[in-house]
Structure 1
Amino acid sequence: MLIDTPQQALIERIRDIGHAEAVRRFFGLLKELIDVVNLPNGDARLAFTIRKDQKAITANVNFFWALRLVKPHRGEPEFWLTIKKSAQDQLVDFPEIDFSGVSQKSGYVAAVIGQSSAHLLYQPAVQQCWLDCLPELVETGKRGPHSARHNPDVYRAAEDEAFLSELIRLADDPSLGERHLNGHTVEELGADYETPDRNVPDNQPHNLILYGPPGTGKTHALQPYLRDGRASLITFHPAYGYEEFVEGIRPEVVGSQVSYKVRKGIFYKACLSAVQLAGYATLADCLNDSPDNRQRKLAQAPAHFLLIDEINRANIASVFGELITLLEADKRLGAEHELWLTLPYSQERFGVPANLYVVGTMNTTDRSIALLDIALRRRFSFRELRPDPSVLPMVEGVDLAQLLRTINERIEYLLDRDHQLGHAYLLNISTHAELCDVFRDRIIPLLQEYFFNNWAQIQLILGDNMAWGKEPEQRLIWVRKKYTSTATTNLFGDIPDTVDDVVSYEINPHLLAHEYEQVPPAAFVRIYQKPV
């Protein structure tokens, strides 16, 4: 016998409605409702319900229907959108819309739209009548808590498209009792709970930063975490802040009115996803549980990963704020010394669950690792990814592995090891033309940036200096002109007192003009192999 779980009830109701497109439209509308009312899952003023005696999914705001999806005994699914009675006249141009009273004494009616007329759901007049009504329902004097039972998975399905897709798939599957849904199993009574595979790599710290020069595969190293869908990905930038990462107040326009609402950031949502994998609907449910039960559930739950690319490009202290303490493994929810705090905007209690893993990448050329906040360094483990020349092949007589080793050794001598080139720059090259493309479009411009257009040093990196002995046609950086005293006098009429000997340079014109047949393979071989 199957346990009557919220997920099972929702799946059964989707099966009763029997129209996947109508279900998706309903949850799209429900997402709009959630955004407008701005109430968290589990708030006493919300009740998203599935009654056993009706083929309907209902979103109640306080004691009023706000939105329903109904499958009548006969006919197509219907969408019921609550609007003010005074707004009915605005919809007289749509004869396909029927109206039904919400209650005898209320000032609201339901605009009923059948699936065959679903395009009317997106008419501006219909949208405005419905959305303008929702804030009034939130503020009505007839307040919750509801006597009806709230199904938190209805809320989750509106916020999580992948979760909704899985619900719809399982609604068509007769073997529901044998299936897993996002880490949750519909179990038989009396069955022993088995710890699932957390899918955590060996020696995985809770907080990890992968760092190294560009092209060493840092972003590529995040791909395995994304394979099973239990990961959130974000790329930091200099303007990124706490309000985008955790929560913040943002203005929104609904109809003709501007409202300010608390919006959750990706870190909050990642923590929510992690506790949902442990069987909790919300972070509040997790925090309200007993410590022993919370520890057991989070220890057995699958892992969720928050992946942060370019983590050092933002102001870390500003982005994480007071949450930096909660990142420590022993301060996580479910850990020995668990902590939580109150968020400044929403005033919700918040903690970081033990089954959330944070993995960041850091390009050492953007900012030295030594400049990172000490608080961050203490809470994160660091793993360096170095260039790996061994993965590079021979291409038309050019040993790319030795080419990369030589260039990097010269960069490390003239600059530092943090600015070396990663193997990814040369990894997918199979022809001479592709090698020329990479040097013209990527490597030489990067060297220009590294050495601030100090062409003499760039020549040293590429073996184009006179002492190395390359033939002139083999050089990638050419000397365009040396200004002798005579040439300087001809240019200025006199020799300026402040001007030293000047040499101007240019990139090999054949390389720039895409005339690669004029750029011999020896131009690259002679970078690492000195002419005899």
Structure 2
Amino acid sequence: MLTETHQQALIERIRDIGHAEAVRRFFGLLKDLIDIVNLPNGDARLAFSVRREKATIVADINFFQALRIQKPRRSEVEYHLTVKKTCRDRLSAIEELVFEPITEKSDYVAVVIGQSNVHLLHQPTLRTCWEDCLLELVESNKRGPHLARHNPDIYEAAEDEARLSDLMRLADDPTLGNSVLNGHTVEEPEVGYAVDAINQPQNLILFGPPGTGKTFALQPYLKEQESSLITFHPSYSYEEFVEGIRPEVMGGQISYRIRKGIFYRACLAAIHQAGYATLGDCLNDSPENRNRKLRQAPAHYLLIDEVNRANVASVFGDLITLLESDKRLGAEHELWLTLPYSQERFGVPMNLYVVGTMNTTDRSIALLDIALRRRFSFREVMPDPSVLSVVEGVDLSQLLRTLNERIEYLLDRDHQIGHAYLTNIQTHADLCDTFRNRIIPLLQEYFFNDWAKIQLVLGDNPAWGKEPDHRLVWVKKKYTANAASKLFGETPDFVDEVVTYEINPYLQREDYEQVPVEAFVKVYQK
């Protein structure tokens, strides 16, 4: 009976506050507070309570108020975060903050933030001051009669998002009674919108050589759609992608908190598009409602640039199965799992689209994890010479075709040069600069400084017929047996004829006026 009284009091205060977003944000702060102070539900130093005389929910640590939400009758929802008085100077530069004394002689003050300035709740300096204060309050010797007024349902709602969702639904619709908390589902009205089916795979990787416009292809998603963007790197991990425990130093003490990654946040954004506040709400809904709402919801895109630079199998971990179209939330064979750190239920909604890019010169598709390749569609993006024009007598389109045909013959198709290397060429100097700083260094990397092959690609080999001064890569010196003998004082037994090379000195010195147009025209014209 006592639990029902606690529950009903909390539901009434949520109803009095009357702002679902503000309530969820406050309970998110409560969860942070619990993680920081690391006290269990029922500890005498901790009290979460409601105030009947006001639309207020309060968290006390020992004798002190630590956090509060309230809805004054004639103003917006307010958040009160307790900080030490000594923090006022550090926070004075933030004009929107209002300071309110807790008691006349207290060493602490409340920072009051209205709903219109809610972004300040995550202001780094304020967060640091608040978190440091929480750790100090835990160690205080001033104890209050907390067990008498503690409402354990508030603690449980902060720890369990599904529980909070149920309480908020009861606050929103009192006619539901206990049916929500007893596990019965309630039909919700039809979503007031419908969208056209998206004509692309839910999991897609754009792959090809560098400079073919793979990253550029992500721009429409960023400009026109709800999207999240991340670039993978070799040290990227599951803990950063989904969730993980991160150490933080606050007040000279190390604490460990669970941080959500971009994949988790993208899934959350996707279900928001379907009208769900949390993943718990989505998973607590009936399969029929979930299917209908997610199928009608607008898409959210998770864009992963350079997807193959990370250990993809390690980054996705046990979520790789949930990416399959028929295993997603709302699909026929939907699945979810329990996350290892937070122990929350988690699934991938069907309106989340994962689009990645992959540079084939870094790693071949054949080297990707087979499980990943089976779950993603792959779309090749190759160089497109047709987008290039003629600049000062040089046909850039034909120049690129010739370079790539030679590279494909000597190496493979994955190491071609993308059209993006030449799209911004306006003058002869631009072309020289691109070859000096981008294309020739790229060829050096491709061929491991095998200059004879680089000459073949550039048409600088003697048989192609370029004038010596027109070549971009020159023969610096040929070492015959006689020349080697002069160099070493003897003829090395293991040396036959050695040829050394250098880049055209005019090109190397950026004296581009001395580099003739024929140096580029005769790459493709004999």
Measured against the shorter chain, the TM-score band is: 0.7 to 0.9
Which of 458, 462, 469 aligns to 2:458? It is: 462
How much does 1:127 deviate? 4.1
Matches within 5 A, 1:248-327: 248-327=244-323
1:19-67 CA deviation, whole Å, 9 max, x = no partner? Answer: xxxxxxxx8x99877655449xxxx99999999997x886758996604
Determine the structure 1 residue equivalent to 2:525. 529
Rounded Cα–Cα distance in structure 2 between residues aligned with 1:133 and 1:67: 18
Residues 1:111 and 2:109 aligned together: yes
Structure 1 residues 294 and 362: alpha-carbon distance in aligned structure 2, compared to 1, 3 A threshold:
same
Rounded Cα–Cα distance in structure 1 between residues aligned with 2:209 and 2:66: 57
Decide whether the 8 Å contact of 1:217 with 1:385 is kept in 2.
yes
How much does 1:12 deviate? 11
How much does 1:317 deviate? 1.1
Rounded Cα–Cα distance in structure 2 between residues aligned with 1:30 and 1:12: 10
Structure 1 residues 33 and 359: alpha-carbon distance in aligned structure 2, compared to 1, 3 A threshold:
same
Structure 1 residues 71 and 509: alpha-carbon distance in aligned structure 2, compared to 1, 3 A threshold:
farther
Decide whether the 8 Å contact of 1:206 with 1:329 is kept in 2.
yes
Rounded Cα–Cα distance in structure 1 between residues aligned with 2:373 and 2:463: 44
Determine the structure 1 residue equivalent to 2:3. none
- More deviation in 454-463 or 265-274? 265-274
SS at match of 1:464: coil
Give the TM-score normalised by the residue count of structure 2: 0.75
Residues 1:130 and 2:109 aligned together: no
How much does 1:99 deviate? 2.8
Rounded Cα–Cα distance in structure 2 between residues aligned with 1:525 and 1:125: 62
Determine the structure 2 residue equivalent to 1:340. 336
Determine the structure 1 residue equivalent to 2:389. 393
Letter in 2 for 1:417: R
How much does 1:109 deviate? 9.2
Q: Mind listing any 5+ residue stretches in structure 2 that lack a counterpart? A: 1-13, 93-97, 114-119, 141-145, 166-187
Letter in 1 for 2:348: V
Rounded Cα–Cα distance in structure 1 between residues aligned with 2:156 and 2:341: 29
How much does 1:195 deviate? 3.0
Decide whether the 8 Å contact of 1:121 with 1:127 is kept in 2.
no
Structure 1 residues 48 and 456: alpha-carbon distance in aligned structure 2, compared to 1, 3 A threshold:
farther
Letter in 1 for 2:195: D
Rounded Cα–Cα distance in structure 1 between residues aligned with 2:507 and 2:218: 35
Structure 1 residues 466 and 339: alpha-carbon distance in aligned structure 2, compared to 1, 3 A threshold:
same
SS at match of 1:237: coil
Rounded Cα–Cα distance in structure 1 between residues aligned with 2:339 and 2:91: 46
Structure 1 residues 91 and 327: alpha-carbon distance in aligned structure 2, compared to 1, 3 A threshold:
closer
Rounded Cα–Cα distance in structure 1 between residues aligned with 2:460 and 2:89: 80
Which of 501, 516, 520 aligns to 2:497? It is: 501
Rounded Cα–Cα distance in structure 2 between residues aligned with 1:135 and 1:282: 30
Rounded Cα–Cα distance in structure 2 between residues aligned with 1:372 and 1:351: 24
Determine the structure 1 residue equivalent to 2:415. 419
Determine the structure 1 residue equivalent to 2:374. 378
How much does 1:253 deviate? 1.2
How much does 1:285 deviate? 1.2
Decide whether the 8 Å contact of 1:211 with 1:385 is kept in 2.
yes
SS at match of 2:460: coil
Give the TM-score normalised by the residue count of structure 1: 0.75
Decide whether the 8 Å contact of 1:480 with 1:503 is kept in 2.
yes
Rounded Cα–Cα distance in structure 1 between residues aligned with 2:91 and 2:247: 32
Matches within 5 A, 1:112-261: 112-113=110-111, 122=125, 127=130, 130-132=133-135, 142-146=150-154, 193-197=191-195, 201-202=198-199, 204-228=200-224, 230-261=226-257
Letter in 1 for 2:67: A
Rounded Cα–Cα distance in structure 2 between residues aligned with 1:275 and 1:507: 56
SS at match of 1:227: helix
Structure 1 residues 94 and 310: alpha-carbon distance in aligned structure 2, compared to 1, 3 A threshold:
closer
Rounded Cα–Cα distance in structure 2 between residues aligned with 1:480 and 1:338: 66
Letter in 1 for 2:252: S
Structure 1 residues 398 and 34: alpha-carbon distance in aligned structure 2, compared to 1, 3 A threshold:
farther
SS at match of 2:205: strand
Structure 1 residues 129 and 358: alpha-carbon distance in aligned structure 2, compared to 1, 3 A threshold:
closer
SS at match of 2:420: helix
Residues 1:66 and 2:42 aligned together: no
Determine the structure 1 residue equivalent to 2:441. 445
Letter in 1 for 2:417: L
Structure 1 residues 123 and 447: alpha-carbon distance in aligned structure 2, compared to 1, 3 A threshold:
closer
Rounded Cα–Cα distance in structure 1 between residues aligned with 2:408 and 2:319: 37
How much does 1:280 deviate? 1.2
Decide whether the 8 Å contact of 1:30 with 1:67 is kept in 2.
no
- More deviation in 440-449 or 482-491? 482-491
Q: Mind listing any 5+ residue stretches in structure 1 that lack a counterpart? A: 15-26, 103-107, 157-189
